[in-house]
């Protein structure tokens, strides 16, 4: 690995020397980048793309069509090992629309394609942007079996090398280096974000890590745990039709704890929801849970535990958003459109392709003591981004913003608080000087759900550029002007009354507060308006 880094440095100096000989006012022609050789990488295509409407490709991260300025689309391939084939792209806006900065986009899931929608988001903001397929094609982990170097590429090397090569190409194209470098990612992209801060602290000046899957090995183990619980007996499965029943009960138990009855549980840590009253007293019915269903629900809330030691392997699900579209019915329980929920699929394919490399491995044989130990020994050193020593990133002046939705069914939100607390324990009370965490009530995985789920973390919104409402702008201001974000206003919808009636949903805005603070209603004015809330450290212990 050291040899690879040395070759990268030499190649970078050669290309940058050539770029510095040109005038910064005269960017080179897009097509002239073709054939540019970098250490263990080459530019395979460079195409001028006219201004127009960008439509996200079907094989990438979801996104909305958006108008983009003209740009130079650079495609390249890096081969740091004989078994590596890392595809990357760098999108370079015209000099007149470039903001002088670089922003790299993270992936989702197992990656396997260029995150074009996220590159488009950065380009629309004026950044030169880049992304990678993480070294393989396709959304499943079948690439991993028998290919340990590809696992390293996926784990961290592809993202790092993309940053290195993209910066060289930015300087070569414009004749000057980007003034600042940023990384924005959610889910696996959040894992990548924390991996960069931990392993490669010099790559980026500012990082946004959304809903990070940083405790990757244990997280995917929880997918197997949930699926086992829902299939323990023939009657354990929880039908989608009963999710509303569960969410209503959770809201009834916990919604008013924040002194606002609006269907949003501001801080679920104070919620002690007991689903026992939902158990049927007689025959199974639409308004109750059978004993087997209740047992499965309890296990999902509990989260996976080691049967020998009792250790909590990973956080359990958080009550309060079970029935929201795209949440449990997509990630946790089986539905007609998703017979194998996503989290179960991630967990089983992880153990089949990456841990045991046996495609016929059966989740029902999972030993949550022995098999987890095997997974941790083999893959955690490569895939997990759990190192709490962010000292080198802090020493460089790096700034990190992390966010997580309390309604995230894919990656339970308590994991983000756990990691933040670990960093506090490692580095001490000065951590907020470079690292802030924002928890979002009601928000699902990376966005959506109910509540203030739009704060510029994904696509640029109507408030793009406003650091009080746009997380990307808040990070830029923190890095460039030293103003740390105390709160960011989120906007969205809140549930109607009765709960879950979309026709009765209403707009809502609320401050998202830097942890450990939460938004507290001041007691007067509309509960749907952010101006009527203050960020305060909660009085109740958690």
* Predicted TM-score of the model (pTM): 0.93
Q: What is the pLDDT of residues 90-147, one digit of tens each?
A: 999 999 999 999 999 999 999 999 999 999 999 999 999 999 999 999 999 999 999 9
CB 465, CB 509: distance < 8 Å: no
Q: Distance between CA atoms of 389 and 432, rounded to whole angstroms?
A: 14
> Is the pLDDT at 379 greater than 50, yes or no?
yes
CB 60, CB 139: distance < 8 Å: no
DSSP secondary structure, 433-490, as one string:
GTEEEEEETTB-SSS-BSEEEESSSSS--TTTT-TTT-HHHHHHHHHHH----SEEEE
Supply the DSSP symbol for 262. Answer: S
What pLDDT, on a 0 to 100 scale, did the predictor assign at position 58?
Answer: 74
| Strand ranges across the sheet with 487-494 | 451-454, 487-494, 506-513
Q: How confident is the model at residue 61 (pLDDT cuts 50, 70, 90)?
A: low
Q: What is the pLDDT of residues 309-327, one digit of tens each?
A: 999 999 999 999 999 877 9
What pLDDT, on a 0 to 100 scale, did the predictor assign at position 504?
Answer: 65
Percentage of residues of the chain with pLDDT beyond 90:
83
Q: What is the pLDDT of residues 205-225, one digit of tens each?
A: 999 999 999 999 999 999 999
What radius of gyration do the chain's Cα atoms show? 23
Q: How confident is the model at residue 18 (pLDDT cuts 50, 70, 90)?
A: very low
Token couple for 4: 């690879």
> Is the pLDDT at 187 greater than 60, yes or no?
yes
What pLDDT, on a 0 to 100 scale, did the predictor assign at position 500?
Answer: 53
What pLDDT, on a 0 to 100 scale, did the predictor assign at position 487?
Answer: 98
What pLDDT, on a 0 to 100 scale, did the predictor assign at position 246?
Answer: 97
What pLDDT, on a 0 to 100 scale, did the predictor assign at position 469?
Answer: 97
Helices vs strands, H then E, count in the chain? 14, 17
Q: How confident is the model at residue 540 (pLDDT cuts 50, 70, 90)?
A: low
The catalytically annotated residue of 445, 454, 470, 509 is: 445
> Is the pLDDT at 7 greater than 90, yes or no?
no
Q: Distance between CA atoms of 19 and 15, rounded to whole angstroms?
A: 6
The Cα-based distances of 59 to 26, 111, 195, 430 in angstroms read: 36, 10, 25, 42
Q: How confident is the model at residue 20 (pLDDT cuts 50, 70, 90)?
A: very low
The catalytically annotated residue of 181, 187, 236, 353 is: 187
CB 528, CB 506: distance < 8 Å: yes
Q: What is the pLDDT of residues 238-267, one digit of tens each?
A: 999 999 999 999 999 999 898 888 888 999
CB 7, CB 39: distance < 8 Å: yes
Domains of the chain: which residue ranges?
Answer: 1-179, 218-382, 489-536
What pLDDT, on a 0 to 100 scale, did the predictor assign at position 324?
Answer: 85
Q: What is the mean pLDDT of residues 364-371?
A: 98
What pLDDT, on a 0 to 100 scale, did the predictor assign at position 60?
Answer: 67
Q: Where are the alpha helices (DSSP H) in 156-288?
A: 158-174, 188-199, 216-230, 243-254
Token couple for 311: 């250790």
The Cα-based distances of 541 to 1, 90, 266, 267, 271 in angstroms read: 46, 47, 15, 11, 12
Q: How confident is the model at residue 65 (pLDDT cuts 50, 70, 90)?
A: confident
Token couple for 52: 């127009």
Closest CA to 142 of 112, 116, 114: 112
The Cα-based distances of 160 to 104, 130, 497 in angstroms read: 10, 11, 48
Look at residue 509 and give its three-state secondary structure.
strand
The Cα-based distances of 332 to 79, 230, 273, 491 in angstroms read: 37, 9, 19, 26
- For residue 516, say if its preceding peptide bond is cis, omega within 30 degrees of 0: yes
What pLDDT, on a 0 to 100 scale, did the predictor assign at position 110?
Answer: 98
Question: Do strands 435-440 and 506-513 pair parallel, antiparallel, or not at all (unpaired)?
Answer: unpaired
The catalytically annotated residue of 133, 153, 262, 408 is: 408
Q: Which residue has the tokens 């009253």?
A: 277
Tally the residues of the chain: 542
Residues 6+ apart with CB under 8 A from 242: 286, 289, 293
Q: How confident is the model at residue 494 (pLDDT cuts 50, 70, 90)?
A: confident
What pLDDT, on a 0 to 100 scale, did the predictor assign at position 454?
Answer: 94
What pLDDT, on a 0 to 100 scale, did the predictor assign at position 15?
Answer: 41
Closest CA to 69 of 130, 30, 120: 120
The partner residues of 177 in beta bridges, in order of sequence, read none
Q: Distance between CA atoms of 464 and 102, rounded to whole angstroms?
A: 17
Q: Which residue has the tokens 């490399």?
A: 357
**In whole numbers, what is the pLDDT of the chain averaged over residues?**
92
Q: What is the pLDDT of residues 400-451, one digit of tens each?
A: 999 999 999 999 999 999 999 999 999 999 999 999 999 999 999 999 988 8
Q: Is 445 a catalytic residue?
A: yes
Q: Is 287 a catalytic residue?
A: no
Q: Is 408 a catalytic residue?
A: yes
What pLDDT, on a 0 to 100 scale, did the predictor assign at position 10?
Answer: 38
What pLDDT, on a 0 to 100 scale, did the predictor assign at position 458?
Answer: 86
């Amino acid at each position: 690995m050291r040899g690879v880094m040395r070759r990268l440095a030499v190649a970078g100096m050669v290309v940058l020397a050539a770029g510095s000989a040109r005038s910064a006012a005269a960017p080179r022609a897009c097509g002239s980048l073709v054939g540019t050789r970098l250490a263990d990488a080459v530019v395979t295509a460079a195409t001028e793309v006219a201004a127009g409407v960008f439509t996200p490709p079907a094989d990438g991260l979801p996104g909305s069509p958006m108008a983009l300025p003209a740009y130079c689309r650079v495609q390249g391939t890096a081969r740091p090992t004989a078994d590596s084939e890392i595809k990357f792209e760098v999108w370079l806006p015209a000099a007149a629309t470039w903001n002088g900065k670089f922003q790299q986009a993270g992936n989702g899931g197992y990656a396997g394609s260029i995150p074009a929608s996220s590159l488009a988001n950065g380009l629309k903001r004026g950044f030169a942007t880049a992304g990678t397929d993480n070294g393989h094609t396709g959304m499943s982990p079948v690439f991993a079996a028998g290919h340990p170097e590809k696992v390293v590429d996926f784990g961290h090397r592809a993202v790092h090398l993309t940053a290195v090569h993209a910066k060289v190409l930015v300087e070569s194209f414009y004749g000057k280096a980007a003034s600042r470098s940023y990384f924005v990612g959610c889910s696996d992209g959040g894992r990548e974000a924390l991996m960069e801060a931990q392993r490669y602290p010099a790559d980026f000046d500012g990082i946004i890590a959304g809903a990070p899957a940083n405790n990757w090995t244990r997280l995917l183990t929880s997918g197997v745990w949930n699926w086992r619980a829902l299939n323990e007996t023939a009657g354990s499965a929880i039908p989608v039709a009963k999710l509303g029943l569960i969410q209503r009960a959770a809201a009834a138990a916990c919604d008013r704890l924040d002194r606002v009855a609006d269907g949003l549980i501001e801080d679920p840590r104070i919620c002690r929801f007991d689903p026992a009253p939902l158990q049927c007293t007689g025959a199974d019915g639409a308004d109750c849970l059978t004993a087997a269903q209740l047992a499965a629900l309890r296990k999902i809330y509990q989260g996976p535990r080691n049967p020998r030691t009792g250790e909590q392997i990973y956080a359990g699900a958080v009550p309060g958003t079970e029935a929201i579209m795209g949440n449990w019915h997509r990630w946790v329980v089986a539905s007609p459109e998703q017979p194998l929920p996503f989290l179960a699929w991630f967990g089983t394919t992880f153990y089949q392709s990456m841990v045991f490399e046996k495609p016929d491995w059966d989740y029902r044989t999972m030993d949550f003591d022995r098999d987890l130990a095997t997974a941790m020994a083999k893959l955690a050193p490569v895939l997990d981004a759990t190192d709490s020593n962010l000292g080198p990133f802090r020493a460089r002046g790096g700034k990190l913003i992390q966010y997580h939705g309390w309604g995230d069914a894919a990656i339970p939100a308590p994991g983000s608080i756990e990691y933040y607390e670990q960093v506090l324990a490692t580095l001490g009370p000065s951590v907020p000087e470079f690292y802030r965490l924002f928890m979002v009530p009601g928000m699902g995985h990376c966005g959506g759900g109910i509540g203030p789920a739009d704060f510029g973390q994904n696509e640029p919104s109507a408030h793009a550029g406003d650091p009080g409402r746009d997380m990307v702008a808040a990070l830029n201001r923190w890095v460039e002007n030293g103003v740390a974000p105390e709160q960011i206003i989120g906007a969205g919808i809140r549930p109607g009354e009765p709960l879950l009636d979309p026709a009765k949903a209403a707009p809502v805005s609320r401050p998202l507060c830097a942890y450990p603070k939460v938004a507290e209603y001041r007691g007067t004015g509309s509960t749907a308006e952010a101006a009527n809330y203050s960020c305060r450290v909660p009085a109740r212990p958690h």
